[in-house]
């Protein structure tokens, strides 16, 4: 993978002003007409808490790590970064660091089931002694990785006289060793009278360093269904893994047992009405986590209330408008991703058509709804026929909580402002020359019991931002926002694009 970049820093936009996004870098960009291999398609993206490292996972089971270079080049340390004004536009530069094979294809002989090597999620853990730690998972198995720099030891010099060393080499072909072990030394191993004055011990040096990825633990055999989420707790010791019907709690140090905290499996599988689609720990409260369902609801659970959290502390769901139900209503209501805001006050959710922002203190409805691609509503039948309606788009929030972002088709992604009074709605294409369009005319619809619901960003039907017909084969499912800057990393097929504002 190689990186390329362009662009320069801009001014200081106000909180309500729309950001001017610029292309920063691309890694793994394919040439025109080059066919993308299935195994190279990126399936997970994650920044670490510092924002100095970025990890991607792909369908081939590989994890690729990138590290930030512009802060090192200018001698800026982490404390200075945190004290800088968030609104100041900077041009972050990343470079390829290392990669390793995290998962291999497997076969479950008991169930006659092939297990793909595809990485579903990556989560960074706390760093220690300059080593990096991360969790990665495919459909069935979670692995805990440690990546550290190790010095390569090399024998730099033997300190022997070349003429003598050549003359004293054992001649294996002529039986030098055989003679030695039979009790007599051959001529090849004879030493000159008085010994070899130039013979010294070899000198070992370790100037070069190499990055080594080592699998510390494997957490397996705990899920009957495909793992869709992993999330580390703020206590730094535990994490959860979620599949369609269960959420398990693990201790990082213990790989052979986990504790089942949520089980929505009915006694009779014919009674199954919803499945778990995503789960995440609260960023600072180690007893709180949220999970979403295929029915469009989010449940907040408190581990202090009960060891088995089948009953929730809070339920967030939007009431269906009367008369609006159709065959596709339940399918497009399914939440594909949820993310806590950095302060833990808000939860962002993504369903097929919209982004919704929820206040955890207000369970009557979302505080804002953002239309991602409303013009696709007349095409739902086509999207169902080609299975695109089941695509799982991710979402992310800026570190200051003022903006949200998610992907769409034709490799587009959308950025919305969620500050009070903001009308920001920007559409960009994942390419070196991103097209952008500001959609300014939000309509505010009041709703009983839930304050103002903001609906923004409806686009012209039938065309993308270039005026071309919409392409369902290219889609931007995975993206991540830098934790402390206006910088977004997103995946279009096998390419990793980075933007800043």
pLDDT digits (tens, 9 = 90+) for 431-471: 887 776 655 434 333 333 333 444 445 444 445 444 445 77
Statement: residue 177 has pLDDT above 50: no
Domain range for 222 is 3-154+206-500
Task: Decide if 311 is inside a domain.
Answer: yes
Task: Decide if 199 is inside a domain.
Answer: no
- Measured CA to CA, the distance from residue 458 to residue 442 in angstroms comes to 8
At 16 the pLDDT is 58
At 2 the pLDDT is 45
At 36 the pLDDT is 86
Higher pLDDT, 187 or 70: 70
Q: Return the CATH number at 430.
A: 2.130.10.10
Mean pLDDT of the chain: 82
Task: Decide if 238 is inside a domain.
Answer: yes
At 194 the pLDDT is 66
Task: Decide if 181 is inside a domain.
Answer: no
How sure is the predictor about 12, in pLDDT bands with cuts at 50, 70 and 90?
A: very low
At 471 the pLDDT is 79
At 450 the pLDDT is 35
Task: Decide if 496 is inside a domain.
Answer: yes
Among 21, 27, 29, residue whose Cα is nearest residue 428: 21
- Measured CA to CA, the distance from residue 476 to residue 467 in angstroms comes to 18
Convert the pLDDT of each residue in 220-246 to its tens digit. 999 999 999 999 999 999 999 999 999
Lowest mean pLDDT among 87-91, 363-367, 372-376: 87-91
At 325 the pLDDT is 78
Statement: residue 322 has pLDDT above 90: no
The DSSP call for residue 453 is: E
User: How do beta strands 452-456 and 368-371 pair?
Assistant: parallel
Among 2, 25, 12, residue whose Cα is nearest residue 499: 25
Share of the chain above pLDDT 70, in %: 77
Cβ(121)–Cβ(134) under 8 Å?
A: no
Share of the chain above pLDDT 90, in %: 59
State how many domains the chain has: 1
Task: Decide if 196 is inside a domain.
Answer: no
- Measured CA to CA, the distance from residue 273 to residue 294 in angstroms comes to 9
Task: Decide if 170 is inside a domain.
Answer: no
Contacts of 141 (CB under 8 A, 6+ apart): 103, 106, 115, 218, 219, 220
How sure is the predictor about 132, in pLDDT bands with cuts at 50, 70 and 90?
A: very high
Q: What is the pTM of this model?
A: 0.80
Task: Decide if 197 is inside a domain.
Answer: no
Convert the pLDDT of each residue in 189-211 to its tens digit. 565 666 666 667 778 777 777 88
């Amino acid at each position: 993978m190689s990186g390329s970049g362009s662009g320069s820093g801009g001014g200081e936009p106000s909180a309500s002003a729309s950001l001017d996004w610029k292309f920063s870098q691309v890694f793994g960009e394919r040439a025109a007409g080059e066919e993308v291999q299935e195994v190279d398609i990126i399936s997970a993206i994650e920044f670490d808490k510092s924002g100095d490292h970025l990890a991607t996972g792909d369908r081939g089971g590989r994890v690729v790590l990138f590290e930030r270079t512009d802060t090192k080049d200018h001698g800026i340390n982490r404390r200075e970064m945190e004290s800088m004004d968030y609104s100041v536009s900077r041009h972050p530069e990343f470079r390829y660091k290392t990669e390793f094979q995290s998962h291999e294809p497997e076969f479950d002989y008991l169930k006659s089931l092939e297990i793909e090597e595809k990485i579903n999620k990556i989560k960074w853990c706390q760093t220690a002694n300059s080593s990096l730690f991360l969790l990665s998972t495919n459909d069935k198995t979670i692995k805990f990785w440690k990546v550290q720099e190790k010095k390569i030891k090399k024998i730099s010099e033997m300190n022997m006289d070349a003429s003598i060393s050549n003359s004293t080499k054992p001649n294996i072909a002529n039986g030098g060793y055989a003679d030695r072990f039979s009790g007599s030394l051959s001529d090849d191993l004879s030493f000159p009278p008085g010994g070899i004055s130039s013979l010294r011990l070899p000198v070992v040096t370790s100037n070069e360093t190499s990055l080594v990825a080592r699998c510390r633990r494997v957490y397996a055999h705990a899920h009957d269904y495909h793992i869709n989420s992993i999330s580390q707790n703020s206590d730094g010791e535990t994490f959860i893994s979620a599949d369609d019907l269960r959420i398990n709690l693990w201790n990082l140090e213990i790989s052979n047992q986990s504790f089942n905290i949520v089980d929505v499996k009915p006694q009779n599988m014919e009674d199954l009405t919803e499945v778990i689609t995503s789960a995440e720990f609260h960023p600072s409260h180690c007893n709180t986590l949220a999970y979403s369902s295929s029915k469009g609801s989010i449940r907040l659970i408190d581990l202090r209330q009960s060891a088995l959290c089948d009953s929730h502390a809070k339920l967030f769901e939007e009431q269906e408008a009367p008369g609006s139900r159709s065959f596709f209503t339940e399918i497009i209501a399914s939440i594909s991703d949820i993310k806590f805001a950095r302060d833990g006050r808000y939860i962002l959710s993504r369903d097929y058509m919209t982004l919704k922002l929820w206040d955890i203190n207000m369970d009557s409805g979302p505080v804002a709804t953002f239309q991602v691609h409303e013009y696709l509503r007349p095409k739902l039948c086509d999207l169902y026929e080609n299975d695109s309606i089941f695509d799982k788009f991710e979402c992310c929030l800026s570190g200051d909580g003022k903006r949200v972002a998610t992907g769409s088709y034709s490799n587009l992604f959308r950025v919305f402002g969620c500050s009070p009074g903001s009308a920001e709605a920007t559409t960009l294409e994942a390419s070196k020359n991103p097209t952008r369009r500001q959609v300014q005319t939000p309509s505010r619809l009041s709703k009983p019991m839930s304050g103002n619901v903001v609906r923004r960003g409806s686009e012209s039907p039938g065309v993308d931002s270039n005026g071309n017909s919409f392409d369902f084969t290219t889609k931007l499912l995975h993206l991540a926002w830098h934790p402390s800057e206006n910088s977004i990393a997103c995946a279009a097929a096998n390419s990793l694009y980075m933007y800043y504002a």
